[in-house]
Structure 1
Amino acid sequence: MSDSLIHRLPDRSMDNALVKVPEVTLLFWILKIAATTLGETGGDAVSMSMNLGYLVGTLIFAAVFLAAVTAQIRSRSFQPPLYWATIIASTTVGTTLADFADRSLGIGYAGGASCLLALLCVSLIVWYRATGSISVSSIGSPKAELFYWITIMFSQTLGTALGDWTADTAGLGYTGGALVFAALLAVVVAACFWTRVSRTMLFWIAFVLTRPLGAVVGDFLDKPVTAGGLALSRYSASAALLAFIVGSIVLFRQRAASRAH
C-alpha cells in the first residue's frame, strides 16, 4: 500500500468519529476463535473439498474480503453482522493464502510464518507512525480502519502458518497444537490481570494466537483420522460454526469500543 493512498484517506477528528469495532469482551474472544475455526474449515472446503486449489480459493476469498472491508469502512456505525462477516472473510483468505504460500510456492511453514510475522510488524509500525496509536479505541477514521484490517489480514494468515507449523512440522499434532496455543493465551490473560504490560500489545498478541488455535481446532475437526483428525465433513463443520456465530450475534448484544479521548 503506497503512502499516497494512505494520505488521501480522510482522517476525521476523533470527537466526531465513530468506532466501528466491538469492545473487547469475553464474547469477542469466543466469536473470534469460532470465526477463525470457521475460516480454516471454510477455506479448506473451497480449496480442497471443491478441488478449486489454493490460488483460486485465495482469489475468491480475497474478493469477498475486499468487498467486506469496503462495506465496513463505508458503514456509518458499528454493525455486528458486517464486522464479523469481515473477520470471517479475513480468516478464510488467510487460510488459503497461507496454504498457497506454504505448499504451492514451497516456502514452507517456517519461511511463510517468518515472512508474515515481518509483514505484521511492519503493518503495526507504519500504522502507529501514521496515526499515533494502534489501539482499538483509536479506530475512528477510514485511515485507521484500513490499517486495522490490513493488520488483521496479516495476523490471520500468520496464524494459519503457525498452526500448521506447530501441528505438522513440530510434530505436536492437532491436540498438542491446540494445548500449546491455549496455554500461551492463558499466559496473555494472566499478564492482562496481574502485570502492567501494555493492554494494546497484549490485545494484538492474543489476536494472533487465537488464529492458530482456531486453525488447529479446524484441522482437528476435518482432517482424516489417520492424520489425527475427526474426519468430519468440512461443509457440516463450517455450517455448525456459522450457525453458532450467527446465533451468538443475535442473542448477545455487542457494543462498539469506547473512543479514545
Structure 2
Amino acid sequence: MTDTTRPSLATRRALSKVPEVTVWFWVVKILCATVGESFADWINMTLGFGLADTAVLFTVVLVAVMAWQLRLDRYVPAVYWLAVVVLSVAGTLYTDILTDALHVPLAVSTSVFAAVLAVVFGVWFARERTLSIHSIATLPRELFYWLAVLVAFALGTAVGDWTMELTGWGPGEAVLLPAGLIVLIVVGWRLGANAVLSFWLAYVLTRPLGANLGDWLASPRADHGLGLGTAATSVLFLAAILATVVRLTLTRGDVIEEAARAPAPVGVANPARERVMHGYYAAIAVCAVGLLVWANGRPHATASDEEESAPRSAARTLAPGQAAERFPPAEVAKFRAIAEDVLEKVRAGRQSEAKARVKELETVWDDDEKSLRPMDGAAWHVLDDQIDSALEALRADKPDPAAEARALDALLDSLRMP
C-alpha cells in the first residue's frame, strides 16, 4: 500500500531517506522479518552465543548501521534494508529477553510495546504534524521513523508469540492469521482507509507473518515444520533480500526523488469514508480477538505443556538410567561420550571448548529426534530436559563451573545404562 499524501511543489525540497511503498517494499519487509527470527535463533542457539551476548552483539551492530544510515542524505537501498534487517534481529532479541530471561508474560510485553508505539506516534505527530512516509527528509523525522520501526518489530514479535501461546497453533497455522489480516487491511486501504494508519497496521503484522514463516521453514518435521534449519533458512532469505535490493538499486523503482519538509495537510480527502473504514478496521480487530478467544478455549497443548509437563511427569516414573534403556545402546553411548568430554573440559577450565562441544551434543540430539522420540515419548522428554539443563548451564551469561558440572553429572546419570 502507498501513502497517498503528496506535498506541493513549493515544499518538495529534500531528498527522502526512505523508499516508496511499493509491492517490493512489502516483499523485502517480510523477508527481513523472517531473517530477524531465524538469524537471531541461529546466533543465539545454534552457534551458542546465548541470548544476552547475542543481544549485545546486535545492539552494537545496530548502533553502527544506524550511524551509517543517518549520515546519508538520501535513500540508499543497501544501507536502508541492512538497517531494517538489523532492527528486525534486535527487536526479536529484546522481546525474547523479556520473555525468556526476565519471564515477562507475553500479554504484558505486547501491551507495553503497543503503548510505547502509540507514544512514539503521538510525540512524532505532535512535533511534526505528519506521519507520512513521504516526509522522512529531516533528522528528527528519521529518528522517529526508525524508533517506530524498532518498536513495531518488538511488538510484532510479542504479538506473534502470544498468538501461538494462546491458540496452541504451530508456526505453519499461525502464518494464516497475520496474512489474512494484511489482506483485509489492503482491501480497506483500497476502499479509502487512512493510508498512514493502514501502512503501520500492516507494518506491525508483517513481523509475525515473517517470523512464523521462518519458524515453519526451520522447525523439524517432527514439529510440523519443513526441517530446513535456522542456518539454511537465514541464508535463503538473506540471499532473497540481497537479490531484491540489487534489483531496486539498479532500477531505482522505489526512490522518492523529493520529500516534503513542511507538514502535510492534516485534513483528509474524504472524512466520511475514512470514518466508515475506521469502523471496518475496528470490526476486523473484534473478529480477530474473537478468533483468538475461541482458539484459546479449545483443547490444545502449549509449547510449555509439551516441553515441561511431559518431562516432569515422566521423571516421577523413570529412575535414573531407565530413560536411556528405552533407546538403542549405540545412540546412548554416542550422547554419553560427548557429555563426558564436555564435563572433562569444564573441570579442566576450558570453558570455550566445553561450550563448543556441548553444541555438538545439541546438534546430534536434535538430528536423532525424529527417530528416537517415537520410540518412547516420555523417556525422550526426560533426556531432552536434562540436555536442555546442560545447555542452559553452559550458555549462562556468567559461567558457573560447579553448576555446569552438576547439570552434566545429572545428564550422565540419566544416560547410564542399567
TM-score of the alignment, normalized to the shorter chain, above 0.5: yes
SS of match in other structure, 1:229: coil
User: Pick from 63, 88, 105: which aligns with 1:66?
Assistant: 63
Aligned residues of 1:14 and 1:141 also touching (Cα < 8 A): no
SS of the residue corresponding to residue 175 of structure 2 reads: helix
1:168-247 alignment, distance < 5 Å: 168-194=165-191, 196-247=192-243
Q: Deviations over 1:31-85 (max 9, x none)?
A: 1001110111111111111222222111111111121111111102210000000
Q: Deviations over 1:172-217 (max 9, x none)?
A: 22122100010000110000111x2210010000100001101111
| Aligned partners of 2:152 and 2:203 also within 8 Å | yes
Partners of 1:177 and 1:216 within 8 A in 2: yes
Q: Which is further off, 83-92 or 224-233?
A: 224-233
Q: Which one of 45, 49, 60 corresponds to residue 48 of structure 1? A: 45
Q: What SS is found at the alignment partner of 1:219? A: helix
Higher relative contact order, chain-length normalized (CA < 8 Å, sep 6+): 1
Does the aligned pair in 1 maintain the 2:21–2:254 contact within 8 Å? no
Q: Secondary structure of the equivalent of 2:131?
A: coil
Out of 99-108 and 23-32, give the one that drifted further.
Answer: 99-108
- SS across alignment from 2:14: coil
For residues 114 and 57 of structure 1, what CA distance do their matches in structure 2 show?
A: 25
Dislocated runs of 4+, deviation >6 Å: none
The equivalent residue for 1:18 is: 15
Identity %: 33
Task: Give the 3 Å change call, closer, same or farther, for CA 14–35 of structure 1 in structure 2.
Answer: farther
Maintained 8 Å contact 1:90/1:152? yes
Equivalent residue in structure 1 for 2:134, among 109, 132, 137? 137
Aligned to 1:259: 259
Q: Could you tell which deviates more after superposition, 58-67 or 75-84?
A: 58-67
Query: 8 Å contact 1:167–1:216 — kept in the other structure?
Result: no
Instruction: Provide closer, same or farther for how the CA distance between residues 70 and 14 of structure 1 changes in structure 2, counting only shifts above 3 A.
Output: farther
Q: Name the larger-Rg structure.
A: 2
CA apart distance, 1:14: 5.7
Cα distance in structure 1, aligned partners of 2:220 and 2:188 = 37
Distance 1:113 1:228 in 2: 26
* Separation (CA, whole Å) in 1 of partners of 2:197 and 2:33: 20
- Distance in 2 between residues matched to 1:241 and 1:198, nearest whole Å: 31
Q: Does structure 2 conserve the Cα–Cα contact (< 8 Å) formed by 1:65 and 1:93?
A: yes
2:332 maps to what in 1?
Answer: none
The alpha-carbon distance between structure 1 residues 169 and 225, as it changes in their structure 2 partners (threshold 3 A), is: farther
AA in 1 matched with 2:233: A
Query: What one-letter code is carried by the residue in structure 2 that aligns with 1:228?
Result: H
Q: CA deviation at 1:251?
A: 2.4
Report the more deviating stretch, 249-258 or 148-157: 249-258
Find the aligned partners of 1:221 and 1:59 in 2 and give their Cα distance: 27
Q: CA deviation at 1:256?
A: 2.4
Give the residue type in structure 2 aligned to 1:89: V
CA distance in 2, matches of 1:226, 1:256: 44
Instruction: Assess if the C-alpha contact under 8 Å between 2:220 and 2:229 holds in 1.
Output: no
CA distance in 2 between counterparts of 1:14 and 1:145 reads: 18
Q: Which sections of structure 1, spanning at least 5 residues, go unmatched?
A: 1-12
Contact 2:22 2:254 in 1 (8 A): no
Q: How many residue pairs align between the two structures?
A: 248
Residue 165 of structure 1, CA deviation: 1.5
TM-score (structure 1 length as normaliser): 0.90
| Structure 2: gaps spanning 5 or more residues | 1-9, 265-418
Which of 157, 180, 186 is the matching residue for 1:160? 157
Listed one character per residue, the Cα deviations across residues 218-259 of structure 1 (whole Å, up to 9, x for unaligned) are 111222333332232211111111111111121243432352
Give deviations 1:78-111, integer Å, cap 9, x for gaps: 1000000000000000111111111111012211
In the alignment, which residue of structure 2 is the partner of 1:75?
72
